[in-house]
Amino acid sequence: MPAQIIMLTRLLAVYCLGMAALVGAYFVLSPVVNPGATEFPIWEVLNYFMAVAIFVALVASFVHKLEHERGGGPSDTVEYIRLTVAFYGAVLLTLWFFWRWFIQLQGDDGSELSWTLIDPAFAIVVGAIGRHIWQNADRG
């Protein structure tokens, strides 16, 4: 595999891992940083970067699942479950995030509960897929 592709893959992995860490940390710290706040402008900016990371995670998990299915499928049940959970977790996160974000962009900030579920899910799903991207960057 060409060195440029490996470097690009590792950069995407670092981006996903960094965004997962940032979102996870800010999710925990936002009540301390903005006590009693009703508006969170940092989240409004982070959402654009989160959207890119979600897209990267979705594509990476799809490609990895597709590669294994074309090769006759994963050799063991654990690998099959891991690939399936990663892919469908990314699909669910994509649908959930963009549904809530588009509602927010139209001016409705009503449901904070959905964000309190989306943000930790983002940190877990994108972080796990980012780690997998990093570990498999030189394998193609």
Instruction: Give the start-to-end residue ranges of the domains of the chain.
Output: 3-135
Q: 23 and 50 in contact (C-beta within 8 Å)?
A: yes
- The answer for residues whose C-beta is within 8 angstroms of residue 52's C-beta and 6 or more apart is 15
**For residues 115 and 64, what is the distance between their CA atoms, to the nearest angstrom?**
28
Ramachandran quadrant class, 37 (left: phi over 0; alpha: psi -120 to 50; beta: rest): beta
Task: Return the higher-pLDDT residue of 33 and 9.
Answer: 9
Calculate what percentage of the chain has a pLDDT beyond 70: 91
Q: How confident is the model at residue 30 (pLDDT cuts 50, 70, 90)?
A: confident
pTM greater than 0.85 = yes
| CA dihedral for 29, 102, 13, 126, sign (positive or negative) | positive
Average pLDDT value for residue range 64-68: 87
Predicted confidence (pLDDT) per residue in 70-120, tens digit: 876 657 788 888 899 999 999 999 999 999 999 988 887 666 778 889 999
Average pLDDT value for residue range 27-35: 85
pLDDT of 7 strictly over 90: yes
**For residues 97 and 91, what is the distance between their CA atoms, to the nearest angstrom?**
10
Q: Give the model's pLDDT for residue 95.
A: 97
**For residues 106 and 24, what is the distance between their CA atoms, to the nearest angstrom?**
25
The first and second tokens of residue 50, run together, are: 């989160």
